[in-house]
Every structure is written in structure tokens, then in C-alpha cells.
Amino acid sequence: MSGLPEPSASALAELRRGCEAAGFDLLQPLQVGWYNAAVSGSLRLEDFGSPQHLAVVIANTRALWPTFLAALRAEPELLAAPHPLYRYTERTISAACAGLPQPLSLRWSHAGGTGLVAMQRLAHVAGLAYLSESQLSVHPLYGPWIGLRAALSFALPGPSGPAPELPQPCGSCAGQCRPAFERALGSARAASSAGLQQNVEQNWQLWLACRDACSTGRAHRYGDDQIRYHYLKDRQQLRQACLASSASD
């Protein structure tokens, strides 16, 4: 399906098995140079000597949530981590990479500083999700209801070029998510860049309205617990979601 040469196709298939078991159900291969040409400095991924080498963007749909909650129930110490989802992501994706051909480079969407990856641009050039005017990555099937988690690169051949051209999945943002985005941004006007995260927490329903206004992928909207956790990152709420899900098992 990926049109990848060997041994890259086998490596991707093995990675996919490990990631899907952990709830990371979207993987998209690309040539590392497609992304590196769009960014500069430390945002660039390791290319192991060739821009044609393989990179993979790893993401999830709402399929992550029940698997994540089950992991939290099996291992309640995870709930004590400062960011349980980030810890879970690092642990499970690192494990999925353990048997893959080395060398490889693995970077996280939640890393900052010199570890920062422009995940939305990566997803766009890979052909996974269109980066919309409302700063949301919109998958043709799942719409904006995806999370981007990790970027991998290998010293293995990537797919043949050129990079795919993604069409705008909804036709246009005007009249749809764009007005909702303007409203949310208006609420943030006074906030400094550092204060933006806080603004998202305070006005999370305005930000949620941007996603809800997107006409693509509505049937794949996250459940209420997953939504609240993504916007508020409240561990107490996560604990409750865990208890509620074990009661319904």
C-alpha cells in the first residue's frame, strides 16, 4: 500500500503493528527531504545522509482512548506522571521501534526547544492531513479529530517522489471553521504567546468550536472524556474516566 521498497516496507509493517496495538492507528511514510525542505535549523529531521530516506509520521484517531485508559488501569503509576499521555506515547512507540533496523531517529510532538518538530507541516507534506487556515490538521476521513504524536526517520529508502499534493478536504474554511477560529483567536488577543496555552484552557469551548465547525470527519469526533483531557490535561478527570471505563467493562 505504501509503495515502499524493501527493507523499508517490512520495517513500516512492523512499526504499524506495534503502534496500532498501542492505539496509534495512523502512520504515513514520506521522504525526509519533503519535510526538511519546508523547515530550517533544529526543526529538520535527521536524514542519515540522504533526503530520499524514509520518515514516518505517527498519529492517532479516537481509537487511542480506550487503549490508553486500559493501560492506565493496568498501570496506575502512569497516572502519577506529569503528563500521562506523553509518558504512554514515549513508552509504547519506543517499544514499537525496538526491533526496527538501526540507526533511526525518534522525535515527539510534545517536545519543545531543539526537539520541536513542526508536526502539522510534517503531516501536510506527508499527505496525511491538510493544514487548514484554522491551524488544524484535517485528515480526509477523520477530519481534525486526530492527534499528531511522533516523527521517525531511518537510514532506509523512502517512498518514490514527488511529495503528494493534498486537496483541501472541506473545499474551504470560509463560513465553516474560519469564523469559529477568529472568535477563539479574538478571545486570545490579549494573551502573550506563553499565555496562549492558558487561554486555550480558559476558553477551551471556543477552541473546541473550531474543530466542531469543520465539516470533515464529524462521525469521528472524540468522545467527551478524550476531548476534555486534550484541552485541559486534568489528571483528576483522567482518573475518573478510568474508573468509569472500568465500571463499564
Handedness of CA 2, 169, 61, 202 (dihedral sign): positive
Q: How many residues does the chain have?
A: 249
Site membership for ligand B12, residue 37 (CB under 6 A)? no
Contact 56, 16 (CB under 8 A): no
Query: Could you tell me which stretch among 28-36, 98-106, 194-202, 217-225 binds ligand B12 (CB under 6 A)?
Result: 194-202
Site membership for ligand B12, residue 240 (CB under 6 A)? no
Given candidates 19, 26, 210, 242, which one binds ligand B12 under the rule CB under 6 A?
A: 210
Site membership for ligand B12, residue 196 (CB under 6 A)? yes
Site membership for ligand B12, residue 206 (CB under 6 A)? no
Contact 115, 108 (CB under 8 A): yes
Count of alpha carbons within 13 Å of 243, Cβ hemisphere only? 6
Residues 166-185: x where in contact with ligand B12 by CB under 6 A, - otherwise, as a string: -------------------x
- d(CA 220, CA 166) in angstroms, rounded, equals 20
Site membership for ligand B12, residue 213 (CB under 6 A)? no
Backbone angles phi, psi at 55, to 5 degrees: -125, 160
**Total number of residues that touch ligand B12 (CB under 6 A):** 25
CB of 28 to ligand B12, least distance (A): 13
Cell of 189: 488577543
Give the residue with the Cβ less far from ligand B12, 116 or 155: 116
Residues 64-103 that bind ligand B12 (CB under 6 A): none
Contact 67, 22 (CB under 8 A): yes
Residues 99-158 that bind ligand B12 (CB under 6 A): 109, 116-121, 134-137, 144, 146-148
Question: Terminal CA-to-CA distance of the chain, rounded, Å?
Answer: 35
Cell of 92: 509504547
- Which residues of the chain form contacts with ligand B12 (CB under 6 A)? 43, 109, 116-121, 134-137, 144, 146-148, 185, 193, 196-197, 200, 207, 210, 230-231
